[in-house]
Amino acid sequence: PEDWPDDKHVTGYWFLEGDALWEPPRDLVSFLKAGTPPVCVGLGSTVTRDREKVSRIVLEALEISGQRGVIAGTGLAIQEGPETVFHAGYVPYSWLFPRAGIVVHHGGAGTTGKVLRAGTPNVVVPFTSDQPFWARRVYDLGAGPEPIPASRLAAKNLAKAIVEATENHEMRRRAEQVGERIRAEDGVGEAVRLVSQYIGQRHAER
């Protein structure tokens, strides 16, 4: 923003790379190889009420859209489902998202950053807090369809968004472009450089 003073900086995302040695379960790898890249659904811990209802909506939307799905994390009450849906539990997003066809998520700042970094189209279902803001940013970047607020989530509109994100080649191209830009950044390195710069300036002033 033009009104920010000179000592305010945007460094880029700070990503943790500690999952580099993580080994994926064989059944998950087999599922991914068995067909087209699936829809990854990860709603974080946001779904605290109506988990069963949201879970039913997700399963129905996958069926309507004709897409395979991977359920990541613990936000949904889906332990078992059709053969076209795999419940992965904990999976490092940095490993999973690049292997997904699209990602359906809640729009948390960290999750959004990891999906954008992967260059994968997003379908964002914001629930609360800053999530509507990040959902709108994804849409404005052209990296996903119009967000679906959790209060208006239904199987039909989620299926429609999944189909759009899957089949819209321009949207995929825009998502890939954003991913390339983010992967070219070094947010941690830039932050370290700025901190060192300011420490050096303060020592010099003394």
Q: How confident is the model over 90-120, as pLDDT tens digits?
A: 899 999 999 999 999 999 999 999 999 999 9
What length is written for the chain?
206
Alpha carbon distance 99, 86 (integer Å): 14
C-alpha distances in Å from residue 15, one per residue of 48, 110, 129, 145, 180: 26, 9, 22, 25, 15
Question: What is the pLDDT, as a whole number, of residue 125?
Answer: 97
Q: How far apart (Å, rounded) are the C-alpha atoms in residues 92 and 179?
A: 17
> Within its chain, how far is the Cα of 199 from the centroid?
35
In 3-state terms, what secondary structure has residue 191?
helix
Band (7; pLDDT cuts 50, 70, 90)? confident
Query: Residue 41: beta bridge partners?
Result: 71, 104
Q: Is 69 helix (H, G, I), strand (E, B) or coil?
A: strand
Residue 69 has pLDDT above 80, yes or no: yes
Antiparallel, parallel or unpaired: β 102-105 and 69-72: unpaired
Confidence of residue 48 (pLDDT cuts 50, 70, 90): low
Tokens of 90: 């904990």
User: From CA 193, how far away is CA 206, in angstroms rounded?
Assistant: 20
* Whether pLDDT at 81 is above 90: no
Confidence of residue 156 (pLDDT cuts 50, 70, 90): very high
Q: What is the pLDDT of residues 164-206, one digit of tens each?
A: 999 999 999 999 999 999 999 999 999 999 999 989 887 777 7
